[in-house]
C-alpha cells in the first residue's frame, strides 16, 4: 500500500519499527502534493527542505533508540493561521502576504517537539471568516470529492489535504464550525476541543472568545493521537485550562470495540426540521439507528435558545473581529500602502487594499454593534443569549452523555454558488455555532454519502466541557461500525 494511504497511527508504527523511514514518509507526501495540489490548492506554502530535515532528525533519533512521541515522523498540514518562524503566516489575507512571524505558536512548538513533520501551511478563508475557503485572497481550495465544489471553510485547505491524501494529519481552527463543517463535506474527521483546551498563543485571532484550534484526520484514533499532542495548559494563554488533558486516545480505542451500552445520546430537537438536504437527513436518521444497534439509548432533548444562536454569533464574532483586526494598521508589520499625507490616510488605504470583502463586511458590522448607543442593544443582548445557550447545553447534558445532529445542512455546494450571498453562506454553520458560543466540545465524523449526489455527510457529536473522552468513544464506535459495513470513504476525483 502507498504510504500516503496509511493512517497516521499505522505510519507512526512503521516509522518507530524502522520498517519505513520518516524521510520516506515525508517525501511520499511531498510527491503527492506535487501531483495533485495544482488541482486541489490545499496548500499556500510547502516547506520541503524543513520537512525533510525534520524527518531526517527523527530517523536519527529512532536509530539511536531515543524515546519519541507516538506520532514522531508523521507528516502534517498546518492551517495558515498559526505562526511559524520558518514559514510565512498569511491567514489567507493580502494584508499579511509574505509575513514571517518571529515566533512559533504553542501548537506549532508542540508539533515540533513531538517530532511531527510539518509539510506546509494550508489555505483558508481570510482570517478564518467563511464557510467555503472561497474568501482566501489566494484563490479557493477545491473539494477532492468533486473539484467543482467547495471543501468547506474556513479550514477547507486542511480538510482537502486529508481527503486528497496529501497528509494524514492536519490542524484547523474552529470559531463557528471551521473544523467540523469542512470535515463533514470532505468525508474526514474534525474536532473542536473544549474552549481553552488547546492553546491560542500564536493563533492569529478572529474572535478571541470563540476561536479554538483542534485536530483534523481521516480516522477518530488519528485525531485522538494528535489531540493529546497539542492539548494541555499553556501559561502563555490566559484562557488556557489548567486541567489534565482528557484520555482521548484510550477512549477512542475503547470505542472502536463497538459497545455503547449504558450511554445516552441526545438528539437536539432544534437542530432538525426544515432546511436540511434530504440526503443529509436520511444519513442522520441512519446514524441514529446505528448508535442504537451499538447499545446507546437515543433520547430527544430540547435546547430552545439554539434558534437565536446564529443571530447572537453574528453580533459577537464581528464585534471581536473589529477589535482584533484593528492591529493591522500598516504601522508595525504586514502590508503598507503609502498613499496619503497622514497616518490615518495610509492606514485607510492599506486596509482597503489588504482586506477582502467578507472581512470588511464583518469589521463594519462589529464596529457598528460596538458603537455608542448600540453596544447594549446588540453586543450586550447577544452575550445574554450566549448565557441562555450555555444553560440549554447544561440542561441537555443532564439528560444525555453526548448530543448529536447533522454537522452541516447540506453536502458540498458548487464553487461560486453562495459566495455573493452572505446569509446563505452563514447558514452552513447553523448546527455548529452553538458549541462555540458555549465553549463545549464537538466533533464531526463521516456518516456516509448522500443518496442524491454521492457526496460526504457528517455526524456531529457534542460533549460537555472537558468531556472529550466520551465524545471520542462514541465517534470511534460509530466509525468502526460504519466502516465495517460500508468501507472507508475515499474521494474519487484525485484519490485514485
| Catalytic site includes residue 2 | no
Residue 320: is the preceding peptide bond cis (ω within 30°)?
A: no
| Catalytic site includes residue 178 | yes
List 136, 178, 283, 444, catalytic entry: 178
The secondary structure of 157-192 as a DSSP string is HHHHHHHTTS-SEEEEE-SSSTTHHHHHHHT-EEEE
Q: How far apart are CA 86 and CA 103, in angstroms?
A: 9
Which long-range contacts link 239-243 to residues 24+ away (Cβ below 8 Å)? 239/195, 239/196, 239/200, 239/208, 240/196, 240/199, 240/200, 240/201, 241/194, 241/196, 241/197, 241/466, 243/466
CA-wise closest residue to 16 among 8, 30, 33, 218: 8
List 21, 79, 199, 418, catalytic entry: 79
CA-wise closest residue to 225 among 242, 250, 243, 244: 250
Give the cell for residue 476.
470511534
CA-wise closest residue to 428 among 439, 444, 441: 444
List 154, 158, 283, 447, catalytic entry: 154
| Catalytic site includes residue 319 | no
Residue 454, number of CB atoms within 10 A of its CB: 12
- Bridge partners of 117, per DSSP, are 75
Phi then psi dihedrals of residue 321, to 5 deg: -60, -45
E strand or H helix at 300, and its extent? Answer: strand 297-301
- Which residue numbers are catalytic? 79, 154, 178
Amino acid at each position: 500500500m502507498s504510504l500516503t494511504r496509511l493512517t497516521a497511527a499505522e505510519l507512526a508504527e512503521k516509522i518507530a519499527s524502522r520498517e519505513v523511514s520518516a524521510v520516506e514518509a515525508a517525501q511520499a507526501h511531498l510527491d503527492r502534493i506535487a501531483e495533485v495540489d495544482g488541482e486541489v490548492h490545499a496548500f499556500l506554502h510547502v516547506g520541503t527542505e524543513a520537512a525533510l530535515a525534520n524527518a531526517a532528525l527523527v530517523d536519527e533519533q529512532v536509530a539511536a533508540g531515543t524515546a519519541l512521541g507516538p506520532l514522531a515522523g508523521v507528516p502534517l498540514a498546518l492551517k495558515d493561521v498559526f505562526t511559524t518562524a520558518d514559514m510565512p503566516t498569511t491567514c489567507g489575507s493580502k494584508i499579511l502576504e509574505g509575513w514571517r512571524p518571529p515566533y512559533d505558536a504553542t501548537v506549532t512548538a508542540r508539533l515540533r517537539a513531538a517530532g511531527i513533520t510539518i509539510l506546509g501551511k494550508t489555505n483558508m478563508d481570510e482570517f478564518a471568516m467563511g464557510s467555503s475557503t472561497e474568501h482566501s485572497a489566494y484563490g479557493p481550495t477545491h473539494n477532492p470529492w468533486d473539484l467543482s465544489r467547495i471543501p468547506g471553510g474556513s479550514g477547507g485547505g486542511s480538510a482537502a489535504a486529508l481527503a486528497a491524501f496529501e497528509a494524514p494529519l492536519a490542524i484547523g481552527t474552529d470559531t463557528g464550525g471551521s473544523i467540523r463543517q469542512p470535515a463533514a463535506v470532505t468525508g474526514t474527521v474534525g474536532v473542536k476541543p473544549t474552549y481553552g483546551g488547546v492553546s491560542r498563543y500564536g493563533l492569529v485571532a478572529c474572535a478571541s472568545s470563540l476561536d479554538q484550534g483542534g485536530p483534523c484526520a481521516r480516522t477518530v484514533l488519528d485525531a485522538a493521537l494528535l489531540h493529546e499532542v497539542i492539548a494541555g495548559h499553556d501559561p502563555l494563554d490566559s484562557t488556557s485550562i489548567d486541567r489534565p488533558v482528557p484520555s482521548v486516545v484510550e477512549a477512542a480505542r475503547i470505542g472502536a470495540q463497538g459497545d455503547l451500552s449504558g450511554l445516552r445520546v441526545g438528539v437536539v430537537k432544534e437542530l432538525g426540521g426544515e432546511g436540511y438536504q434530504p440526503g443529509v437527513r436520511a444519513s442522520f436518521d441512519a446514524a441514529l439507528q446505528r448508535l442504537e444497534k451499538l447499545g446507546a439509548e437515543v433520547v430527544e432533548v430540547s435546547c430552545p435558545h439554539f434558534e437565536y444562536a446564529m443571530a447572537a454569533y453574528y453580533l459577537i464574532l464581528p464585534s471581536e473581529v473589529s477589535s482584533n483586526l484593528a492591529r493591522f494598521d500598516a504601522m508595525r508589520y504586514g502590508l503598507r500602502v503609502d498613499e496619503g499625507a497622514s497616518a490615518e490616510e495610509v492606514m485607510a488605504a492599506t486596509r482597503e487594499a489588504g482586506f477582502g470583502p467578507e472581512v470588511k463586511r464583518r469589521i463594519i458590522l462589529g464596529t457598528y454593534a460596538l458603537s455608542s448607543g448600540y453596544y447594549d442593544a446588540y453586543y450586550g443582548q447577544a452575550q445574554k443569549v450566549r448565557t441562555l445557550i450555555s444553560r440549554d447545553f447544561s440542561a441537555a447534558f443532564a439528560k444525555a452523555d453526548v448530543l448529536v445532529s447533522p454537522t452541516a445542512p447540506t453536502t458540498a455546494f458548487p464553487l461560486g454558488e453562495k459566495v455573493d450571498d452572505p446569509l446563505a453562506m452563514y447558514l452552513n454553520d447553523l448546527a455548529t455555532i452553538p458549541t462555540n458560543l458555549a465553549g463545549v466540545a464537538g466533533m464531526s465524523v463521516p456518516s456516509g454519502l448522500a443518496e442524491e449526489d454521492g457526496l460526504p455527510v457528517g455526524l456531529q457529536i457534542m460533549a460537555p466541557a472537558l468531556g472529550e473522552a466520551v465524545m471520542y468513544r462514541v465517534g470511534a464506535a460509530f466509525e468502526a461500525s460504519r466502516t465495517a459495513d460500508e468501507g472507508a470513504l475515499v474521494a474519487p476525483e484525485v484519490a485514485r
